[in-house]
Amino acid sequence: MTRRFLGPALTALLLSASALTATPRHAAAQAVITGNQNMNATVETVDMQTRTILLRDQKGGLLTLTIPKDAKNLPHLEAGDHISMRFFQTMAADIAAPGSPLPESTVSSAKGHAKRHPHGTLVSFQRQRVKVVAVDAAAHKVTVIDHADITRTVTVRQKALWPLLSTLKIGDDVDVTTMDAVSFSVLNRTVSGDVSVTENTGDQAKPAGN
């Protein structure tokens, strides 16, 4: 399993309960919680070039974390570290007002100590605008095109969302936001003396390749 901060699947965004809300047009939708998980894991490998961390959970399953290059001030991790983690994800969307600026993605990170264990947090907001090019409410499908001119058709399988498809119109610009957050503590290391917290908050995420 792979968790990629700043790179969630477009289909997952559109299938969130808030992505197709029946709120007034141009009114912001409330976020919905789409993930909430606690786990303990062991660090298998750390690849600084690809900024990936391979973890093994208590059941032996593998999990790959991809850390944004804009994330700073996170505690150092190395192979063999035992960590406790919490993942939290929300998603939301709203119809963009005509002429409004494109949404910007941001990354926030911090490090400190929790009960004298090294502790870190990472929060990313991935924001993108897609345009609705087709809606088939009877078939529970919506087709969108993103900023890279990639067109995707999503089948909405959750029955609770089917009536909401009728709120979308061809040509609508929809701003979709997903928030991924992770907090972790390194259980096999402690510090003594004074401890402090440093934070890097709200940096605009740079496009991939920059």
pLDDT (0 to 100) of residue 160: 52
pLDDT (0 to 100) of residue 158: 57
Does 210 map to a domain? no
Q: What is the 3-state secondary structure (H, E, C) of 118-149?
A: EEEEEEEEEEEEEEEEEEECCCCEEEEECCCC
pLDDT (0 to 100) of residue 3: 47
Does 178 map to a domain? yes
Does 77 map to a domain? yes
Does 59 map to a domain? yes
Does 194 map to a domain? no
Residue 176: give the domain boundaries.
Answer: 2-189
Tens-binned pLDDT, residue by residue, of the chain (210 aa): 544 443 333 334 344 333 333 344 544 455 667 789 999 999 999 998 999 999 999 999 999 998 988 888 889 999 999 999 999 998 776 788 889 999 999 999 999 999 899 999 999 999 999 999 999 988 989 899 998 999 999 886 656 556 667 788 999 998 888 899 999 999 999 987 665 555 555 555 544 444
Does 160 map to a domain? yes
DSSP the chain: -EEETT---HHHHHTSTTTT--SPTTPPPPPEEEEEEEEEEEEEEEETTTTEEEEEETTS-EEEEE--TT--SPPP--TT-EEEEEEEEEEEEEEPPTTPPPP--EEEEEEEEETTEEEEEEEEEEEEEEEEEEEETTTTEEEEE-TT--EEEEE---GGGGGGGGG--TT-EEEEEEEEEEEEEETT----S----EEEEEEEPPPTT-
| Domain total in the chain | 1
* 54 strand-pairing partners: 45, 64
pLDDT (0 to 100) of residue 6: 33
CA distance 151 to 84: 39
pLDDT (0 to 100) of residue 69: 83
Does 55 map to a domain? yes
pLDDT (0 to 100) of residue 108: 93
Does 40 map to a domain? yes
User: pTM for this structure?
Assistant: 0.70
